[in-house]
Homo-oligomer: A and B are copies of this chain.
Amino acid sequence: MEKDNAAEQQGQEQWIQELLALSEKEQMTPKQISILQAAIDTFSEKGFSAAATSEIAQKAGVAEGTIFRYYKTKKELLLAIVVPTMSRMIAPFVMRNFSGVLDVPFESYEAFLKAFMVNRLDFARKNLKIIRILIQEIPFQPALREQLVENILSQVLERVTVITEHFKEQGQIMDAPTPAIIRFTISSVIGYLLARLLLMPDHDWNDEEEIEQTVSFIMHGIGGVRTL
């Protein structure tokens, strides 16, 4: 038990820990940071198209021209906000496991799922506005779509496939088509995150319980108790 927890904890550390990207932020001037912050606020409130650079400048407390010193165009400002976050969204999937041996540091799929949900909920909570912008703009920004499809999704899929098949071999996951399993799992996870953070953010959530419930649903469904 102790050991398991420790292993899980460690796995979580290695695996799920986010890129802190502190180096980046440190290179930024205070002005640049406030521009980004103002842009995040404005884009997420009004949408990219309807957000005026003049409003961003005003919120950031800089002259309008200053924005364009840092970002050549409004679109470049959008990408500067959204692309790094896209990378950080999938950070847990790209972290290399340097310790070798086993690439999947969790004993059970349930433990993995739970840790993943907890971690991504935390991440999403902290990056809510940017995620909102991302969701809004992906359909209209080919650059983003490309980035998403080519760099993000492919990596995630590859990784998740490995994990899923690992647990399938162990018999923890049933023998159904991996893509369907993945889609179903991700739907459930994202469904929870969206309901939790975007649809009903003001509801009184008990995250621990809900996550456990969701993981349980994913594993065993909502069907009536099976009698032996």
Contacts and interface: CB of A to CB of B under 8 A. Distances in A.
Interface of A: 46-50, 132, 136, 139-140, 171-174, 176-177, 180-181, 183-188, 190-192, 195, 210, 213-214, 216-226, 228
A185 B192 CA distance: 11
Contact of A191 (B47, B172, B184): B184
Contacts of A224: 171-174
A181 B224 CA distance: 12
Given A187-B192, A228-B228, 13 more contacts: A47-B47, A47-B139, A136-B136, A173-B224, A176-B222, A180-B210, A180-B214, A183-B192, A184-B217, A187-B190, A187-B191, A187-B195, A218-B221
B223 A220 contact: yes
Given A139-B136, A174-B224, A223-B172, A180 B46 contact: no
A190 B191 CA distance: 9
Contacts of A190: 187, 191
